[in-house]
């Protein structure tokens, strides 16, 4: 099972999650999950993250309606990061952008 393969120990029970559009492969955001968030994501088919600031689960779109519907989930070669391909409903970023990575530096 996926839970047994994930290395939850590197970040004290959290893993980084890269979220990507399943059609365009555009990177949408980076978040974190704990086991409970991953279980809820798998059960409901909507991405749920763990907020490191608020110390609680949050399902993307629960207040904005901008849900992330799970299409595929990949575990990286070190078993400590997830890539989740989603169908994004609406914009991703709280600033109203389609991705959280809109500030080009180089």
Q: What domains does the chain contain, in order, with CATH numbers?
A: 2-88 (3.10.20.810)
Say if residue 21 carries a ligand binding annotation. Answer: no
pLDDT for 3 equals 76
The pTM for the full model equals 0.94
- Distance separating alpha carbons of residues 5 and 95, to the nearest angstrom: 35
Say if residue 25 carries a ligand binding annotation. Answer: no
Phi, psi angle pair for 7, to nearest 5° = -85, 100
- Distance separating alpha carbons of residues 11 and 103, to the nearest angstrom: 27
pLDDT for 4 equals 83
pLDDT for 2 equals 76
Say if residue 77 carries a ligand binding annotation. Answer: yes
**Cα dihedral 28, 53, 55, 8 sign:** positive
Is the pLDDT confidence value at 37 over 80?
yes
Say if residue 103 carries a ligand binding annotation. Answer: no
């Amino acid at each position: 099972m996926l839970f047994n393969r994930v290395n939850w120990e590197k970040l004290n029970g959290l893993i980084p999650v890269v979220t990507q559009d399943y059609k365009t492969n555009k990177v949408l955001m980076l978040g974190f999950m704990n086991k409970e968030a991953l279980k809820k994501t798998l059960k409901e088919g909507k991405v749920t993250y763990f907020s490191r600031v608020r110390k609680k689960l949050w399902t993307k779109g629960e207040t904005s309606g901008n849900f992330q519907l799970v299409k595929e989930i990949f575990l990286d070669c070190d078993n400590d990061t997830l890539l989740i391909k989603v169908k994004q409903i609406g914009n991703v970023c709280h600033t109203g952008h389609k991705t959280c990575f809109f500030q080009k530096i180089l």
